[in-house]
């Protein structure tokens, strides 16, 4: 007798493994954020809205990471990795206001220029984006070679 649902159980087992892996990655990333936030908490009093800004970033990043992990072994994995890299770039640009911060505390005006940090962060994000695009091209090339054999 042939096993008629062998493909279904194999796919279900693969998806369950992917879901478990994505859950573990998401939980570890959130635990890292939680520990890091203990050190950043004193700065949240100086910078209004810092906690909301960081939490929004962490939530969206974890969602993209989990969805990308669930879509592993497909072309969509690389799309979500590219979206994650573009999200990091755009979030840095939007949240850091172009790299110049101005703050007034009592009678002291303080201006901080972090454009160099912003440029480095954007270049690292572009490197991640380029990596995702190259991996997607490689994936499609490998699939085309496999089908032609």
Length in residues, the chain: 149
Inside any domain, residue 107: yes
Inside any domain, residue 31: yes
| pTM of the full structure | 0.79
Inside any domain, residue 2: no
- Identify the H or E element spanning 110: strand 108-113
Q: pLDDT tens track of the chain, all 149 residues?
A: 455 666 788 888 888 999 999 999 999 999 999 999 888 888 778 777 778 888 999 999 999 999 999 998 899 999 999 999 999 999 988 888 888 877 787 888 888 888 998 999 999 999 999 999 999 999 999 988 777 66
Domain that holds residue 62: 8-148
Q: What burial class does residue 138 get, using C-beta atoms within 10 Å of its C-beta: 0-12 exposed, 13-18 middle, 19+ buried?
A: exposed
Give me the phi and psi of 103, to 5 degrees please.
-145, 140
Inside any domain, residue 34: yes
Count the domains in the chain.
1
Inside any domain, residue 112: yes
């Amino acid at each position: 007798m042939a096993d008629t649902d062998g493909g279904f159980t194999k796919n279900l087992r693969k998806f369950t493994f992917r879901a478990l892996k994505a859950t573990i990655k998401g939980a570890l990333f959130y635990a890292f954020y939680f520990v890091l936030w203990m050190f950043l908490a004193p700065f949240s009093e100086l910078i209004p809205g810092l906690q909301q800004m960081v939490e929004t970033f962490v939530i969206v990043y974890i969602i993209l990471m989990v969805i990308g992990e669930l879509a592993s072994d497909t072309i969509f994995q690389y799309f979500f990795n590219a979206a994650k890299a573009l999200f990091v770039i755009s979030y840095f640009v939007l949240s850091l206001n172009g790299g110049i911060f101005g703050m007034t505390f009592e009678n002291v005006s303080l201006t901080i220029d972090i454009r160099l940090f912003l440029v480095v962060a954007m270049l690292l994000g572009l490197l991640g984006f380029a990596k995702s695009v190259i991996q997607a091209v490689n994936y499609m090339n490998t699939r085309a070679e496999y089908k032609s054999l």
